[in-house]
Structure 1
Amino acid sequence: MRLPSSFAALVVGLAQAQAQYLVNELSFGYGSRISPEGTQSIPNFSLQGRPNLPELLSNKVILTPVAPGNQRGAVWADRPLQHQSWIADVEFRANGPERAGGNFNIWLVRDGAHAIGSSSIYTAGRFEGLALVVDQYSGSGGMMRGFLNDGTIDFKSHHNVDSLSFGHCRFAYRNLGRPTQIKLRHNEHKFSVEVAGRPCFESDKIRLPSGYNFGISAASADNPDSFEVFKLVVLTENTHENYGSHHDAAAAAPPAGGDANNNKQQRMTFGRGGQAVVEDPYDNVIPDQDADQITSSKAQFADLHTRLQNINHHLSNIFRVYSQGLGTGEQRHEEVSIMLGELKGMLSRLDKLDALEHRLGDIEREMRSMRSELSGRLRDSENAIKYHVSDKHETLADHVKTHTKQGHTKLILVVLCGNALLVGAYMFYKRKRASPKKYL
């Protein structure tokens, strides 16, 4: 019996759905509550923020509040992702007044809590991994862009961060009144991003190695948007690498510099066109074999030939790294030499301090001698003035006494004589006036 096409599609969808397994340690928001009742933390996640930590509610995390502006918030998974095929489902919501601003970032970065923290794509420094940014880039009203970095680019000091994106799509996300879903898919064939159930962008050139941490951050502007996260759910098809609740963080996270088998971790590098690929530092590694499996001289020769080629490749890599190290060392030596030359020039200026110190000592001695000399001269001048003033005062006093001994009698006689003359003159005037006049 032939099944309808819709029923067959449903069966295929159910089969695919059953093939996905939830990674509890990298997920939150899939249950009735984000955090256990009575606690203010998300299990297996850490909150970061500046100047305040994000507000944690029962069903969402408010990364940036409506007010005040210039806030930053982030939530980071404590354990790294140890799968190559995975799906990440994020639901967020952005609310704010007209002409408000901010950005929402989804990270998959090595040691993201320390390398990124609560930074955005514009304030992050050197990081290794993937970043998806949602903002109103170039007045678009809503856009998602993807960025990749292998740890060599400092985004914070880059002159044009927007030019580093490898994919983008437009969509409205502000003031919708409902959460917006962003879904990331990664496997050995391609990497893709979906927004609200519609494809955004994809690439078959991107391979992200395991060992990276999921994180979500948001930053608001002076006129802020409020960004809220409802869930981050990570699904995988491989149950062998699934985290169990009984495993601790040490068992889940690989040792520094290697994985559980003491192999070097893979690093992400960029290929042509800015597309990311995976580079294994120990490529062409031949697995060990038992000697009993080599039963013929031809197989022995082939094994020896292959291993010699492998050794040759490794030696070539060693010499290549060594030559690069020499070039870097010479460049740094040149920089250090330039810095030492500048430092010597500055130290030569310090030699002038000795001459300046001697000159200041001479000036101090001259000032002291001048002070003592000036004090002596002022003292002599004061004594001379006192002597002359006292001598002149005594001479003037004696002179006044000498001239004023008989001065009063003469003054009285002069006054009396003057008065008598005035009286006589007045009497003569009256007599002349009263005498009869003679007329001719």
Structure 2
Amino acid sequence: MRLPQQSSILAFGLATILTAQAQFLVSELSFGYTGRINDRGEATVPGFTIHGTPNVPEILSNKVILTPPVPGNARGAVWGDQPNQYREWVADVDFRANGGERGGGNLNIWLARRGDQEIGSSSIYTVGRFDGLALLVDQHGGSAGMIRGFLNDGTVDYKSHHGVDSLAFGHCYYAYRNLGRPSQIKLRQTAQAFKVEVDNQLCFESDQITIPPGYQFGITAASADNPDSFELFKLVVMTENLAAKLQGTPPAHQQQNDGQDQAKAQTSYGRNSQNSQNSQNTNSPRSADFDDVIDDASADSITSSKAQFADLHNRLQSVNHHLSTIFRQGAGMNNMNEKRHEETSQMINDLKQSLSKLDKLDKLEWLTSEMTKMQRDIQNIKTDLNSRISQSENNVKRAISSNHGTMLEHVATQTTPRHGKLIFVIIGSQIVLVAGYIYYERKKTLPKKYL
């Protein structure tokens, strides 16, 4: 029962080591890969220069605040002191943007020649002439967020250009504000293409772009009147072969197509000649890793103790150089393993959080049943209310009809003219008059009695 478990663990560890061997950390071009900006606890970024206006960006233990929440119209910049000397590389940038409902600003990721001197803390809209690549993150066109790429060979003055937005060669939409977590932008330069990925999703790519060695990495940010706070957590540069570092920066042959549609221009930027590319491809991996390989020699060719000592000395030096290279690669692999371990731990924590949400399914079912009951009760109340309203309406109709019928009879009875009393009075008064007259006449005809 233990063997399958141990074999699975061994397979996972082997897969991790093979993955770690794919890329090696370039420590002099990176910071924040250990989770801290400065392991010594100092308020500096080793190997990088920081400046900004009106105040220098604040450096915390795990992040650099390029633009603070207040005041607005602030600028911050982080520039590497050493240029990138690798032809194939991967650069990871973790940042976060927080602000008000209508906050504004932009983040610029640069790979430019003499970037700190020519660009400083400028953005793509305020920079003049520069030589290199710029990746812009802002809310272009009123969108929730957009990432666009720009190229320049030093001939275009972006600050005075009438339509900077039309110079972008690639873009994708990405809502980056107020996510509550860092966003990752990955720039990948290979021999085949240049790619930009956002949160492990492809943003855009081009097989017509090659950034030559000798360019500096830099990150700048600018805020508006209603500011966004841009926080930078890390800049990690990796390469597949640390020994392929160029000792001299070759001249960059840069071309940029100035066609009618600049956004869709086929750009061949920093691409060396085909002959030099072929000559580099013919180099064996052994000569690329070790430049002091000593060819094997026959023992018969060593005829003196001096030659034997020289051969032994040279071979010991070669072994020493090889061991140094192995130790350096082992150190890079160790750093990469730590980084992969942190990423794996983070993924496991995210998985645990996702699994914890499954416990709420029972509550959701209970809530669904309660809502069904409530809906049924509301339907019953509605039916009862309709019946009661109909019954009340019928009662009102009956009461009105009955009352109106009695009222008509009463009115008819009360308003009927009554002449009986009048006739009785008239006839009675006539009878009284007749009786009085008769009595008077009789009285008058009676004999008078005298005393």
Partner in structure 2 of residue 107 of structure 1 = 110
What runs of 5+ residues in structure 2 fail to find an aligned partner? 1-9, 280-451
Measure the CA separation in 2 of the matches of 1:208 and 1:103. Answer: 23
Partner in structure 2 of residue 98 of structure 1 = 101
Partner in structure 1 of residue 179 of structure 2 = 176
Q: Number of matched residues?
A: 264
Partner in structure 2 of residue 135 of structure 1 = 138
1:268 to 236, 248, 254: 254
1:15 shift after superposition:
2.8
The question of 1:186 aligning with 2:189 is answered yes
Query: What code does the residue aligned with 2:137 have?
Result: V
1:169 shift after superposition:
0.5
> Contact 1:268–1:276 at 8 Å: present in 2 too?
no
Partner in structure 2 of residue 205 of structure 1 = 208
> Contact 1:211–1:253 at 8 Å: present in 2 too?
no
Query: What code does the residue aligned with 1:270 have?
Result: Q
What runs of 5+ residues in structure 1 fail to find an aligned partner? 1-6, 243-251, 288-440
User: CA 1:65 to 1:21, structure 2 compared with 1: closer, same or farther past 3 Å?
Assistant: same
The question of 1:196 aligning with 2:187 is answered no
Equivalences for residues 35-114 of structure 1 within 5 A: 35-114=38-117
1:145-170 deviations in Å (ceiling 9; x for gaps): 00011111000000010000011101
The TM-score with structure 2 as length reference comes to 0.55
Equivalences for residues 335-354 of structure 1 within 5 A: none
Secondary structure of 2:244 counterpart = coil
Displaced runs of 4 or more, over 4 A: 7-14, 278-287
Partner in structure 1 of residue 123 of structure 2 = 120
1:293-340 deviations in Å (ceiling 9; x for gaps): xxxxxxxxxxxxxxxxxxxxxxxxxxxxxxxxxxxxxxxxxxxxxxxx
The question of 1:277 aligning with 2:280 is answered no
Partner in structure 2 of residue 416 of structure 1 = none
> Contact 1:150–1:267 at 8 Å: present in 2 too?
no
Measure the CA separation in 2 of the matches of 1:106 and 1:280. Answer: 21
Query: What code does the residue aligned with 1:220 have?
Result: S
> Contact 2:73–2:223 at 8 Å: present in 1 too?
yes
Secondary structure of 1:126 counterpart = coil
Secondary structure of 1:277 counterpart = coil
The TM-score with structure 1 as length reference comes to 0.56
User: CA 1:95 to 1:281, structure 2 compared with 1: closer, same or farther past 3 Å?
Assistant: closer
Measure the CA separation in 2 of the matches of 1:109 and 1:188. Answer: 19
Secondary structure of 2:177 counterpart = coil
Measure the CA separation in 2 of the matches of 1:225 and 1:77. Answer: 24
User: CA 1:279 to 1:111, structure 2 compared with 1: closer, same or farther past 3 Å?
Assistant: closer
Secondary structure of 1:268 counterpart = coil
1:173 shift after superposition:
0.6
- Identical positions, percent: 59
1:20 shift after superposition:
0.6
1:34 to 20, 27, 37: 37
Equivalences for residues 354-373 of structure 1 within 5 A: none
> Contact 1:80–1:253 at 8 Å: present in 2 too?
no
User: CA 1:153 to 1:253, structure 2 compared with 1: closer, same or farther past 3 Å?
Assistant: farther
1:151 to 143, 150, 154: 154
User: CA 1:10 to 1:196, structure 2 compared with 1: closer, same or farther past 3 Å?
Assistant: farther
Query: What code does the residue aligned with 2:255 have?
Result: T
CA RMSD after TM alignment: 2.5
